[in-house]
Amino acid sequence: MLSPQPTTTGRAGDRRRLAALLTVCLGYFMVILDTTVVNIALPDLRRGLGADVAGLAWVVDGYTLALAALLLPAGGLGDRVGARRTFLAGLAGLTAASAACAAAASLPLLVAARVAQGLGAALLIPSSLALVHATFGDRAGRARAIGTWGAVGGVAAAAGPVAGGLLVGWAGWRSVFLVNLPVGAATAALTGRLVPAGGHQGGRGRGMDLGGQAAGVACLALLTFAVIEGGRPGGAVPGAVAAVTAGAAGAGFVAAERRAADPVLPLELFRRPAFAAGTAVGLLLNLGFYGQLFVVGLWLQQVRGDRPATAGLLLLAETGMATVSSAASGRLAARVGPRRPLLVGLAAGAAGLAGLATVGPGAGDALLAGLLALVGFGMAFAMPAATTAVVDAAPAERVGVAAAVLTTARQVGSVLGVAVLGGLLGAGQGFLPGMVRGLLLASGAFLLGGLLTAHAVRPGRSPQEPAG
């Protein structure tokens, strides 16, 4: 594992560590920005490439699918070859794939490039956090640095719709990918100069559990294919075959994890009710939030007729509120435990999603912004508490693994949310009925998370929960 860099005293050392932190955060900013910036570009992209709703779902899910499937293996790779090498490899991959996205002449080429972007992003996330950990040797400084790293992700998510709206209005959908090129090149140059190599630079590390990883990737990819393609005309049979095959791959994944000496997903953690519930809530939150982001972004422009910049500003009410409420939730969870903020956030998000399902295209901007802000508040108020529930429930020696499992579950939720809600849009019964059903489904996902919380997460905080 990475070992902390030797502490450099004085202002020069502080400035160098701060420069290294900002450089690493710039790479992380790219990863999160690419999660949300493309949603505003979808209508323009649809016109440019002649894509249907299922094709647009693949454009979004190609990125998050690769990220979700490869996040845990990428963390193990960083342990083996070194965090800075992995960070630079991910940065190069993400930047090159962004150029390929901007140059794509057809939908299949764009989806393939988005998958490559996701691979680069999967390498960047765990290595960026490992570099932050290694750069700051003292515990207090490290905690502040990790807080900055997390805040940068929130700012990037909030900035995505606004940046996407401005870029698309100015230069078309390809510009949302071209913007990564100068940012990626600058980050790579700064990393070589400012970010210390740090700690472990290669070696055996953890076992890679290749069989379990391959089965998990196959299960998620096939399930996504089944949901997206099953909704297309004539896609029922291929979708059903993919669903059955995904079930078999899932069973193979569980079997492989039971046998593995160093499993990528330690199944015994799920014997702890709060851990299982918190992980499920993380998946359901992202399923509802990112599914509705896909749907609402299309609805604002294609049904209401909003310009890309206007749609981006309306969605800023949602993503901006998410950035603000996250910190408040963390402080409350630290005082009273995760149960109360989880229930408040899940209830607020469910109410906001249900409200969005009932408004028509003629709704005023103020009403829409209020409902979107309620959804963003609910999602972000619940998520830090879900993280607290998962970490509190894990044994002390498994906290890092538990956090990685939750992060992966959230990415899986994002993939399934876009696939399911996008499938409802393209099911042949019209955009508006599909949107209403999708938003009600997203609201139901939040409510289900609330039921799981009420059942499994105890009031107050417990540093360690015994296995059930």
Whether residue 190 is found in the same domain as residue 225: no
pLDDT of 11 strictly over 90: no
Task: Answer whether residue 464 shows pLDDT above 60.
Answer: no
pLDDT tens digits, one per residue of 217-236: 888 889 888 888 877 777 77
Residue 49 belongs to a domain: yes
Q: What pLDDT score was predicted for residue 4?
A: 45
pLDDT at 423 (0 to 100) = 83
CA dihedral 138, 144, 150, 151 (to 10 degrees): -160
- Same domain, yes or no, for 282 and 226? no
- The more confident residue out of 282 and 266 is 282
Examine the domain organization and report whether 417 and 308 are in the same domain: yes
* CATH assignment of the domain containing 425: 1.20.1250.20
Which domain does 114 fall in, by range? 1-208
Rounded distance, CA 145 to CA 365, Å? 37
The predicted-structure confidence for 353-374, as pLDDT tens digits, reads as follows 999 999 888 888 899 999 999 9
What does the block give as tokens for 464?
């360690």
Residues 12-33: b if buried by 16+ CB within 10 A, e if exposed: eeeebbeebbebbbbbbbbbbb
Mean pLDDT estimate for the chain: 84
Residue 467 lies in a domain: no
Whether pLDDT at 467 is above 50: no
Per-residue CA distances from 55 to 28, 115, 223 (Å): 27, 14, 16
Inside any domain, residue 464: no
Check whether residue 117 and residue 105 sit in a common domain. Answer: yes
Indicate if 29 and 73 belong to the same structural domain.
Answer: yes
| Domain membership flag for residue 230 | yes
**332 and 396 assigned to the same domain:** yes
> Is the predicted pLDDT of residue 332 greater than 70, yes or no?
yes
Among the candidates 261, 295, 324, a domain finishes at 261
Same domain for 130 and 95, yes or no, is yes
Q: Say if residue 289 is in the same domain as residue 180.
A: no
Output 45 or 465, whichever has higher pLDDT.
45
Residue finishing a domain among 261, 284, 303 = 261
Residue 14 has pLDDT above 90, yes or no: no
pLDDT at position 373 is: 94
**Mean pLDDT, residues 311-317 taken together:** 90
Does any domain span residue 466? Answer: no
Question: In this predicted model, what pLDDT tens digit does every residue of 62-86 receive, in sequence order?
Answer: 999 998 888 877 777 777 788 888 8
Number of domains in the chain: 3
**pLDDT for res 121:** 92
Among residues 321, 352, 350, 380, which one has the least CA distance to residue 449? 350
CA atoms of 21 and 23, how far apart (whole Å)? 5
Q: Do 250 and 171 belong together in one domain?
A: no
Q: Is 272 left (phi over 0), alpha (psi -120 to 50) or beta?
A: beta
- Average pLDDT on 400-426 reads 85
What pLDDT digit, counting tens, does each position of 156-211 carry? 888 888 899 999 988 899 999 999 999 999 999 999 888 877 544 444 445 566 77
Is the pLDDT score of 139 beyond 70?
A: no
**Same domain assignment for residues 215 and 302:** no
Q: Which of 374, 388, 400 is nearest to 453 (CA)?
A: 388
pLDDT tens for 41-67 read 999 999 999 888 889 999 999 999 998
Task: Decide if 114 is inside a domain.
Answer: yes
Q: Compute the CA torsion angle 445, 158, 384, 283 (nearest 10 deg).
A: 30
Provide the pLDDT for residue 74.
79
Which helix (H) or strand (E) covers residue 95, if one does? helix 83-103
Residues 165 and 220 in one domain: no
Q: Would residue 231 count as lying in a domain? A: yes
Identify whether 288 is part of a domain.
yes
Co-location of 287 and 401 in the same domain: yes
Local confidence band at 7 (pLDDT 50, 70, 90 cut-offs): very low
Window from 161-175, 332-346, 422-436 with minimum mean pLDDT:
422-436
Which pLDDT belongs to residue 6? Answer: 45
> Considering 181, 208, 235, which residue would you say is the last residue of a domain?
208
pLDDT for res 386: 87
